[in-house]
Amino acid sequence: MSLTNEQYDSIMREYDAIRNRNARATTEKQKMIYNKFPELKAWENRAVTLKVQKVKQIMEGAPQSSIDNLEDEATMLLVNRMSLLESNGLSPEDLEPIYDCKDCHDTGYIYDSYGNREKCHCFREREINILYNQSGIRQLLKRENFSKLTYKYHEGEDLNRLKGAVDVCRDFVDNFDKEYKNLVLNGTVGTGKSFLSCCIASELLESYHSVIYLSAISLFEILAKKQFSGDYSDKGEETENLYECDLLIIDDLGTELSNSFVASSLFGLINERDLRRKSTIISTNLGLPEIRERYADRVLSRLTGNYIFLKLTGKDLRTLVK
């Protein structure tokens, strides 16, 4: 399943509205600055005149000294402009157009070095929000991120484990673009494994990465719907995003129904993401023997071979915090 025409149109209408809003804000801001410092406009007009004169003089073969004079005046105008703006707490950027997304200028599309048009990260994020119903996750990330992290509910070995896991998670975020890594966050209910995956998701979304956060139940529902719908009409954009997003977080693996479809599609997914060097985080309270039993040896060997296992222990934080 990919975006329906209606969903696509609604994203494009959103971009229209953003561009209109920013165009108005840009005009207002420029008007305010030019009204306050009318000399700026006069200098800009003069700079345009100087450019025209310079071209004219070059074409007419005027003496170099005359052309140099024009250039000196143009430089002087730039210096004056800069110092006037700076002495009033402004910068040249304050006169530039305003954009929500500086990469695509709020069009939703960018061009690669070959001139091919592709979706901007901000479009991908909107698409993912719609396709995977991620708006709830956004709310969750406001509550659960590194700034909300506390060690006050842990002690002893539990505390050491948590601190060690936090270090690995921070390192995962810091080196995300340099090192390909995967994590398994393992622990019983309420030990903080989902919290840590939220911390990572939050940081990576801030730095414009595409992140899909799904409970294991929702993930296998999506995969089953695709598999059993008999609809092969589209290229499978919904599943394509699962293979291609920068980070896939599978929350609470083991809470879904256990069957051979689940086992084989989990293998297919983590195997494909591994081939594409796309990171995955799995949180689960299953131990290794249970993972082998539910998903078979090949899943277990992929996980033990390519994932860093972090074990979290302690009391159920959810009841403690309440």
Residues of the shown chain interacting with Zn ion in the complex, contacts defined by CB under 5 A: 101, 103-104, 120, 122
Nearer to Zn ion, 104 or 222 (CB): 104
Per DSSP, helices labelled H in the chain are 5-36, 38-59, 64-87, 121-131, 135-143, 156-174, 193-206, 216-228, 237-244, 260-275, 288-306, 317-321
Nearer to Zn ion, 102 or 322 (CB): 102
Closest CA to 244 of 220, 280, 201, 218: 280
CA atoms within 13 A on the CB side of 47: 14
CA distance 216 to 287: 16
> Min. distance of Cβ 8 from Zn ion in angstroms?
16
**What's at 246, amino acid-wise?**
D
Nearer to Zn ion, 63 or 115 (CB): 115
Nearer to Zn ion, 106 or 158 (CB): 106
DSSP state of 258: P
> Min. distance of Cβ 14 from Zn ion in angstroms?
12
Nearer to Zn ion, 104 or 169 (CB): 104
Angle at 57 between CA 55 and CA 83, to 5 degrees: 65
Tokens of 178: 């340099």
